[in-house]
Amino acid sequence: MKKLAVIISSILLSSAATTAIAADTYQSISHVGYVDVDGDDTLSVDSTYYFSPKATLGPYDQFEYINKQTNVYGAYSDNDFADVTSIGGEYFVEDFVLGVQYNNFDSDFGSSTDVIELSAGYFFNPNLLLKATFVDVEDAENQFVFDLAYNHELNSTDYIGFTVTADDEFDYRAVAAKYFADLQQGNYLTVEGKFEDVDGGSSNWELASNYYFSKATSVFVTVNKNDDYTLGAQHFFNNNVGLEAGYGNNWDDSDYDAYFANVSLQF
- SS3 for the chain is CHHHHHHHHHHHHHHHHHHHHCCCEEEEEEEEEEEEECCEEEEEEEEEEEEEEEEECCCCCCECCCCCCCEEEEEEEECCCEEEEEEEEEEEECCEEEEEEEEEEEECCCCEEEEEEEEEEEEEECCEEEEEEEEEECCCCCEEEEEEEEEEECCCCCEEEEEEEEECCCCEEEEEEEEEEEEECCEEEEEEEEEEEECCCCCEEEEEEEEECCCCEEEEEEEECCCEEEEEEEEECCCCEEEEEEEEEECCCCCCCEEEEEEEEEC
Q: What is the pLDDT of residue 1?
A: 38
pLDDT band of residue 114 (cuts 50, 70, 90) is very high
Q: Is the dihedral of CA 8, 11, 16, 19 positive or negative?
A: negative
Indicate if the pLDDT at residue 220 is higher than 90: yes
Contact 224, 204 (CB under 8 A): yes
Single-letter amino acid, residue 53: P
Q: What is the pLDDT of residue 18?
A: 35
Indicate if the pLDDT at residue 256 is higher than 90: no
d(C-alpha 6, C-alpha 10), whole Å: 6
**Stretch 101-122: mean pLDDT, rounded?**
93
In this prediction the pTM is 0.88
Q: What is the pLDDT of residue 21?
A: 52
Indicate if the pLDDT at residue 50 is higher than 70: yes
Indicate if the pLDDT at residue 14 is higher than 60: no
Q: What is the pLDDT of residue 109?
A: 83
pLDDT band of residue 39 (cuts 50, 70, 90) is confident
Q: What is the pLDDT of residues 177-195, one digit of tens each?
A: 999 999 999 999 999 999 9
- More confident: 40 or 62: 62
Q: What is the pLDDT of residue 213?
A: 98
Indicate if the pLDDT at residue 26 is higher than 90: yes
**Stretch 197-204: mean pLDDT, rounded?**
89
pLDDT band of residue 5 (cuts 50, 70, 90) is very low
Q: What is the pLDDT of residue 264?
A: 98
**Stretch 254-263: mean pLDDT, rounded?**
91
Indicate if the pLDDT at residue 110 is higher than 80: no
Indicate if the pLDDT at residue 202 is higher than 90: no
**Stretch 154-160: mean pLDDT, rounded?**
94
d(C-alpha 251, C-alpha 104), whole Å: 34
Q: What is the pLDDT of residue 22?
A: 64
Indicate if the pLDDT at residue 157 is higher than 80: yes
Q: What is the pLDDT of residues 53-95, one digit of tens each?
A: 999 999 999 999 999 999 999 999 999 889 999 999 999 999 9
